[in-house]
Amino acid sequence: MKKKKVNLRDLAPKEHQGDHSHDDGHNHSSPEEVSNLRTYLPAIFSFVMLIIGIAIDYFDAFPFFKGWVRIVWYSVAYIPVGFPVIKEGWNSIKNGDFFTEFFLMSIATLGAFAIGEYPEGVAVMLFYAVGELFQSAAVNRAKGNIKALLDARPDEAVVYRDGNFVVVNPETVEIGEKIQVRVGEKIPLDGILLSEKASLNTAAITGESKPDTIAKDEKVFAGSINLNGVIAVETNKEFKDSSIARILDMVQNATARKSKTELFIRKFARIYTPIVVYLAIGLTFLPYFFVDDYVFRDWLYRALIFLVISCPCALVISIPLGYFGGLGAASRNGILFKGASFLDAMTKVNTVVMDKTGTVTKGVFKIKEIKSITFDEAEFMKYLMAMEEQSTHPIAKAILEYKADGLDYKATDVSEVAGKGLKGTVNGKTVLVGNKALMASNNIEVPSETDNVVESIVMVAINGKFVGYVTIADKFKEDAHQAIKQIREAGISKIIMLSGDKDSITQQVSNELNIDWAKGGLLPEDKLNEVEELKKQPDTKVAFVGDGINDAPVLAASDVGIAMGGLGSDVAIETADVIIQTDQPSKIARAIKIGRSTRRIVWQNIGLAFGVKAIVLILGAGGLATMWEAVFADVGVALLAILNAVRLQRMKWKES
């Protein structure tokens, strides 16, 4: 589809659209509020009935509160919280899954009713229901970050078509179309800014709350909010490939990738639960053969306590919730883990290997020095720029930013010499622009002073004679030095740089950043070989950080692949296990800290659950624990584990 050339003035708003919402003066409960109230009503009703029943029992205020009246009262208190659990247990049994927490709770509480312990039967089911509500609330809290991302997904685009603005679904906008974004609106698709500048809130994309100022011709990302003035954007990606769509897909799919700890606990619970059920059966009947004063009711009560304690919900719920909290906390910090397993893997990393360009440097080249031998500087640059106009290389772009008055030289017959540079004609003269290899292949003598140049160098020869050179330098990212310092403080023992850039530049950058070891001039397969050699060393876990297509093989081969998500290529992002959406290398250390905090909380929960359950199981088997202690060992521990997991949502990972 051919696009019509559009003048920026055409993209200015033709009218302002006001807010047509109004308040009718009445308060209305939202559907969510009504739904929340209905969720809690059964538990509230059961709690009130239980408290009243216990009070009547304690004070013996009503003589008629005995026999069937008492049974009916506690049954009515039990049904609102018990029926859903019994129903779930029955459905699980029909599906062939007997040993679930629903089955355990149903048997334990119905058993309590069978031996006349009505208040305890209601209390166990009530506290279990309350625990489930807390779990649901905690999960919803952990999912809040994903919901915020969903809310950030734009649902319409104002596109310029046939001389008019049309509001369309972003999925229908094609690459190269011009869209308009008003103040307060979300940018619907990734693109290039056509306006002179824009102030954007990129929190949904990068996790950074500080407004970002974007200049003309720079990239803007879908989901960013326009803060100041109407802007025009030319789209460069389809909606399904936009940054916000990619983030949503990665975060939503991350929960499907279980960590080894999480998978182990789920498998363990399926073995551990039936064992405890059989132990409870044995605890009920076996004492008959060994105890002189055997009372069936007493031993059944102990077995029921055993069953309540055995419920694995504290483990099965709080552990994945811990990992989910870690994924959410990382996402809020502009770090996307593609699964809980990579949170675990990050905690084991002890060697960080990184690319140079686009990782610790901006990949934005600037002219550092111009050395002209034959011409004055302006004349020399006109020849060089005429040639570089024919190139798309980043270094060519840096050279073309040179301000030359009256750039009227044009190059003809330009051809590229693979891996060496360009050859062409300017003003009837044969011009060579490239590296030392290009000069050598054309028998052009190069001054020895160029041997000492560390930076990238572009040499120029006219009519077979060397006339000068330009040095080009990349810029460090603002947080590059801070990043290396923080990675060391995070306990990483070795930091290595592997780069495709020439070795002298790589060594210079490495020395300035205080990196342990560096190697330059590497092809993609060379980087891969270096990382595979590192992985062969005992107890070495490697994280590789890169951004380009050439880094994809190494990202896939490393123990943890980390890609720069803003400037990084789509191939690198798809291959990596962790995406740093802000392109800040300092986030590497933060990713390690979040991974470690998550793992620490998960193991705290495992220790808490097993420790308390073991103690109360022993007490219950010995007749020293009642159903109330059993409730604490199950629901109480689950709640404590959940509250511990929720801490991840509140933690702050400050810059060192």
pLDDT tens profile 66-109: 889 999 999 999 999 999 989 988 988 888 877 777 777 788 78
Q: Is 99 helix (H, G, I), strand (E, B) or coil?
A: coil
Is residue 239's pLDDT more than 70?
yes
**What are the E-state strand segments in 279-403?**
335-337, 351-354, 361-372
* Residue positions counted in the chain: 656
- pLDDT interval class at 20 (50, 70, 90): very low
Q: Which residues contact 321 (CB under 8 A, 6 or more apart)?
A: 135, 138, 139, 142, 642, 645, 646
- Return the higher-pLDDT residue of 553 and 534: 534
Pair of tokens at residue 364: 């934005």
Nearest residue to 243 via CA among 565, 591, 574, 585:
565
**pLDDT value of residue 25:** 43
Q: For 364, list phi and psi in degrees, rounded to 5.
A: -110, 110
Pair of tokens at residue 66: 């005995």
**pLDDT value of residue 103:** 79
CA distance 24 to 15: 27
Pair of tokens at residue 473: 């330098």
CA distance 261 to 55: 45
| Domains, the chain | 8-12+154-239 (2.70.150.10), 32-143+257-325+598-650 (no CATH), 335-361+477-595 (3.40.50.1000), 362-475 (3.40.1110.10)
Question: Which pTM value belongs to this model?
Answer: 0.62
Nearest residue to 370 via CA among 458, 282, 283:
458
Nearest residue to 177 via CA among 165, 159, 157:
159
**pLDDT value of residue 568:** 52
Is residue 7's pLDDT more than 50?
no
Is residue 584's pLDDT more than 80?
yes
- pLDDT interval class at 36 (50, 70, 90): low
Q: Which residues contact 251 (CB under 8 A, 6 or more apart)?
A: 145, 146, 149, 327, 331, 336
CA distance 487 to 586: 8
Is residue 22's pLDDT more than 50?
no
Q: Which residues contact 163 (CB under 8 A, 6 or more apart)?
A: 10
Is residue 241's pLDDT more than 50?
yes
- pLDDT interval class at 545 (50, 70, 90): very high
Quick one: average pLDDT of 241-263? 59
CA distance 388 to 398: 10
Q: For 68, list phi and psi in degrees, rounded to 5.
A: -65, -30
Pair of tokens at residue 527: 């980087």
**pLDDT value of residue 653:** 56
Mean pLDDT, rounded, of the chain:
80
User: What is the four-CA torsion angle of 533, 537, 541, 546, rounded to 10 degrees?
Assistant: -20
- Return the higher-pLDDT residue of 132 and 218: 218
For residues 225 and 185, is the Cβ–Cβ distance under 8 A? yes
For residues 152 and 223, is the Cβ–Cβ distance under 8 A? yes
Q: Is the dihedral of CA 25, 26, 29, 30 positive or negative?
A: negative
CA distance 352 to 498: 11
Pair of tokens at residue 270: 């399926």
Q: How many helices (H) and strands (E) does the chain have?
A: 22, 22
Q: For 221, list phi and psi in degrees, rounded to 5.
A: -120, 145
**What are the E-state strand segments in 27-103?**
none
**pLDDT value of residue 357:** 79
The amino acid at residue 534 is L
CA distance 276 to 613: 12
Note the pLDDT tens digit of each residue in 372-408: 998 888 889 989 999 988 887 777 878 888 866 556 7
H-run or E-run covering 517: strand 517-519
CA distance 298 to 302: 6
CA distance 300 to 280: 8
Catalytic site includes residue 516? no
Angle at which helix 587-621 crosses helix 313-332, to 10 degrees, equals: 170
The amino acid at residue 597 is S
| Buried b or exposed e, range 478-499, using 16+ CB within 10 angstroms | ebbbbbbbbbbebebebbbbbb
Note the pLDDT tens digit of each residue in 452-497: 787 778 999 999 999 999 998 878 888 999 999 999 999 998 999 9
Please tell me what DSSP assigns to residue 633: I
| Catalytic residue (choose from 355, 501, 583, 634) | 355
**Which region among 105-109, 160-164, 167-171, 292-296 has the lowest average model confidence (pLDDT)?**
105-109
Pair of tokens at residue 95: 């599906």
**pLDDT value of residue 248:** 59
Pair of tokens at residue 625: 């624990």
For residues 599 and 347, is the Cβ–Cβ distance under 8 A? yes
Q: Is 563 helix (H, G, I), strand (E, B) or coil?
A: strand
Q: Which residues contact 354 (CB under 8 A, 6 or more apart)?
A: 360, 495, 496, 497, 498, 544, 545, 546, 585
Pair of tokens at residue 484: 């290396």
For residues 499 and 523, is the Cβ–Cβ distance under 8 A? no
| DSSP state letters, 135-180 | HHHHHHHHTHHHHHHHHHS---EEEEETTEEEEE-GGGPPTT-EEE
Quick one: average pLDDT of 576-587? 86
Note the pLDDT tens digit of each residue in 597-648: 998 988 888 888 888 878 887 887 777 877 777 777 777 777 787 788 777 7
Q: What share of the chain is helix, strand, coil (3-state, %, to 5)?
A: 50, 20, 30
CA distance 493 to 367: 36
Pair of tokens at residue 444: 């052009």
CA distance 312 to 587: 36
| DSSP state letters, 384-453 | HHHHHTT--SHHHHHHHTS--TT----EEEEEEETTTEEEEEETTEEEEEE-HHHHHHTT----GGGGG-
In three-state form (DSSP H/G/I as H, E/B as E, the rest C), the secondary structure along 189-243 is CCEEECCCEEEEECHHHHCCCCCEEEECCCEECCCCEECCCCEEEEECCCHHHCH
